[in-house]
Amino acid sequence: MFLDFERDLQEIHQKIDQLRRLYNLGDREKERELRKLQREFLKKSKEVYSKLDPWERVLLARHPQRPHAMDYINLLFGNFTELHGDRCFGDDKAVVAGFGYLDSLPVAVIGQE
């Protein structure tokens, strides 16, 4: 899902996806075209994201597909046990805290949603 200011990136991304679907290993011409489109995508990305106005930065930060703390926690930590609330206030949904394992090392984890 692309935002309005990312429209140029979306077009290049669609071309890359289409070429990948049609790509056969060993086809040098399509391989060169794919690398060219990937370089174009990176160049355009730098251009687009370096010129964002403040509201576009907010939209990007609030993007619905942007990963949240729990996405990273679930990928990085095994056997994560989340802590909830306290006796006086309740549960703050903006903060994630708990214990888990990073490889075999027990760790405390705090994240902001």
Cα angle for residues 80, 85, 89 (degrees, 5° grid): 165
Does the pTM surpass 0.85? The reply is no
Q: What is the pLDDT of residues 13-70, one digit of tens each?
A: 998 888 888 776 667 788 888 889 999 999 999 999 999 999 999 998 888 888 999 9
CB atoms within 10 A of CB 74: 12
Q: What is the pLDDT of residues 49-63, one digit of tens each?
A: 999 999 999 998 888
Residue 78 φ/ψ region, left for φ over 0, alpha for ψ in the -120 to 50 degree band, beta for the rest? beta
State yes or no: pLDDT of 105 exceeds 90.
yes
